[in-house]
Amino acid sequence: MKTISERIADFTLNLTIEQIPVNVIGYGKLLLMDTFGVAMANLEAEHAQAIRRVVTENGSRPVCTLWGSADQVQVAEAVLYNAGLIHGSDYDDTHVGGIVHPSAAVVSTAICVGEAVGATGQEIYEAIIVGWEVIVRLALSAKGRFHDVGYHGTGIVSSFAAACVAGKLYKVSRDILVNALGICGSQAAGLQEFLRDGSWVKKLHPGWAAHSAVYALQLAMAGFTGAKEVFEGEFGLFKTHCGFVCGTEEFENLGTVWHTPEITFKMYPVCHMTHSFIDCVLEAREKYEVEPEEVEEIECRIEERCYHIVCEPEAAKKNPQTDYMMRFSLPYVVSVALAKGKVSPWEISMCLARDSRIGGLMNRVRCVADDGKRNPGYFPGWLKIRLRDGREFVFDQRWEKGTPQNPVDLDAVMEKFSNNLEHFYTESQMKQLAELLQSFEKMDGAQPLLKALEIEKAGI
């Protein structure tokens, strides 16, 4: 009987674009466009500049481009930086059922390794689809337990998916890829302690996982061995991190059932667990013209798993001191949505967090842990607004905007893409980028895209 690693390796190394359904190919290109829009918006972000300083100071043969510039570093450093661009503002896509951000490690690894080996656009895109399918299945297999015990699931599973992406592009053997996955198991990491103080470390998780994956594959190519039952073994990933031995069922239909179209676009640059509540507040503003000064109380009922992430510790969530604490504070995002009528990257601001109007509203937000499991696998939002005049409005958002059950259209994805890029690119440049991403698999390689991403400001 095949191990999970062997099943994943066979799928990874044998998949061709002809086997991928047309809807998966099309949806994936929307995800690519969204991913690059989010990434480029972070070029001047403090966290991105910190990573850039480190990777450019590490001397080695430069072969991979730091997005937005012509500067090059080695593969492992490039994936670290480029994935940091994608994930740093928490605006990148999510598979909600798996509670994982698929594209940060997957896309950065595919573009970087593809550039290094001279792969075609089709070969790179095949590797991206492989990475999305693998990362989602690994995340689903955890059944939410990574987060329950304090791990960040994206940090844990991204290295395995990135190793598959790199292995496909390097065209390694099955044995080498199985060994690389085994090595990744000893590097899978990512704690959620950042939730307590709003520190930056989560921004690094997908990039560090991709960085580890590149080294794992290079070690395996040099003959280093890794555990063959890294997933289902007695001391494997799932037994040690989740408390149960993983079955093979999530991996038996690789190549016949596709999870890529389930990946959700994030419409707000904050924790996905808060999105349904933002939807509710924006509806209240639009439908009933509710103003912050009228509000006596906002009650938010949220699943217990999510409560611990975006509502605790209460004092810190109602007085956020960093951008990440804002992104993971339900009281903050609900308050800013009602006060400003939107939650865009510009609303993640210490000026707003210190605004007495928003601060006062945060203190009138009451979060309640609800273990009713109203919509398992998603992040529903139940919200009641009680006004000072006694009126009450109740909202129940079962599917957050951007999910397959509450989808956004191409225009919404394009609007987000343009809003993210307009600080750095002209309208014609943005149009060129969108066209390249929408025909990615037809390109000779990554160079046309990388050249189009270059901007004068990138060498900061």
Task: Indicate if 247 and 349 belong to the same structural domain.
Answer: no
Lowest mean pLDDT: which of 109-118, 167-176, 375-384? 375-384
Output the average pLDDT for the chain. Answer: 94
Task: Indicate if 165 and 220 belong to the same structural domain.
Answer: yes
Task: Indicate if 278 and 340 belong to the same structural domain.
Answer: yes
In a domain, 404, yes or no: no
- Using CA atoms, how far apart are residues 190 and 204, in angstroms rounded to an integer? 9
Q: Which pair of structure tokens corresponds to residue 188? A: 């899978």
Band of pLDDT at residue 280, cut at 50, 70 and 90: very high
Please state the domain count of the chain. 2
Using an 8 Å Cβ cutoff, are 153 and 310 in contact? no
pLDDT (tens digit per residue) in 158-176: 999 999 999 999 999 999 9
Task: Indicate if 313 and 246 belong to the same structural domain.
Answer: no
Task: Indicate if 77 and 130 belong to the same structural domain.
Answer: yes
Task: Indicate if 214 and 277 belong to the same structural domain.
Answer: no
Using an 8 Å Cβ cutoff, are 215 and 167 in contact? no
Q: Which residues contact 297 (CB under 8 A, 6 or more apart)?
A: 364, 365, 366, 385, 386
- The mean per-residue pLDDT over the stretch 370-387 comes to 82
Q: Which pair of structure tokens corresponds to residue 389? A: 């005049």
- Using CA atoms, how far apart are residues 156 and 213, in angstroms rounded to an integer? 11
In a domain, 446, yes or no: no
**Which of the listed residues 347, 364, 397 is the one where a domain comes to its end?**
397
In a domain, 439, yes or no: no
> Among 193, 189, 183, which residue's Cα sits nearest to residue 213?
183
Q: Which domain holds residue 380?
A: 272-397
Highest mean pLDDT among 205-219, 342-356, 366-380: 205-219
The kind and range of the H/E element at 418 are helix 410-421
Task: Indicate if 98 and 79 belong to the same structural domain.
Answer: yes
**Which of the listed residues 373, 397, 421 is the one where a domain comes to its end?**
397
Exposed / middle / buried, residue 287 (Cβ in 10 Å: 0-12, 13-18, 19+): exposed
Torsion angles phi and psi, residue 14, rounded to 5: -105, -15
**Above 70 in pLDDT, residue 269?**
yes
Band of pLDDT at residue 201, cut at 50, 70 and 90: very high
- Using CA atoms, how far apart are residues 226 and 204, in angstroms rounded to an integer? 24
The kind and range of the H/E element at 366 are strand 365-370
Q: What is the pTM of this model?
A: 0.93
CATH number of the domain residue 237 falls in? 1.10.4100.10
**Above 60 in pLDDT, residue 458?**
no
DSSP secondary structure of 264-321: BPPSSSS-GGGHHHHHHHHHHHHHH---GGGEEEEEEEEEHHHHHHHT-SHHHHTS--
**Above 90 in pLDDT, residue 350?**
no
- Using CA atoms, how far apart are residues 122 and 411, in angstroms rounded to an integer? 26
Lowest mean pLDDT: which of 58-62, 265-269, 440-444? 58-62
In a domain, 112, yes or no: yes
Res 459: pLDDT: 45
Band of pLDDT at residue 372, cut at 50, 70 and 90: low
**Which of the listed residues 230, 262, 294 is the one where a domain comes to its end?**
262
- Label the pairing between strands 295-303 and 381-387: antiparallel
Res 248: pLDDT: 82
Res 371: pLDDT: 75
- The mean per-residue pLDDT over the stretch 382-402 comes to 94
Using an 8 Å Cβ cutoff, are 348 and 323 in contact? yes
Task: Indicate if 255 and 333 belong to the same structural domain.
Answer: no
pLDDT (tens digit per residue) in 78-91: 999 999 999 999 99
Share of the chain above pLDDT 90, in %: 87
Band of pLDDT at residue 213, cut at 50, 70 and 90: very high
**Above 90 in pLDDT, residue 219?**
yes
Res 388: pLDDT: 97
Between 205 and 457, where is the model more confident?
A: 205
**Above 50 in pLDDT, residue 460?**
no
Task: Indicate if 327 and 227 belong to the same structural domain.
Answer: no
Q: What is the DSSP letter of 263?
A: P
In a domain, 402, yes or no: no
Task: Indicate if 218 and 355 belong to the same structural domain.
Answer: no
CATH number of the domain residue 358 falls in? 3.30.1330.120
Res 57: pLDDT: 74
Band of pLDDT at residue 56, cut at 50, 70 and 90: confident
Task: Indicate if 252 and 384 belong to the same structural domain.
Answer: no
Band of pLDDT at residue 221, cut at 50, 70 and 90: very high
In a domain, 379, yes or no: yes
Task: Indicate if 241 and 278 belong to the same structural domain.
Answer: no
In a domain, 33, yes or no: yes
> Among 162, 160, 164, 165, which residue's Cα sits nearest to residue 125?
165
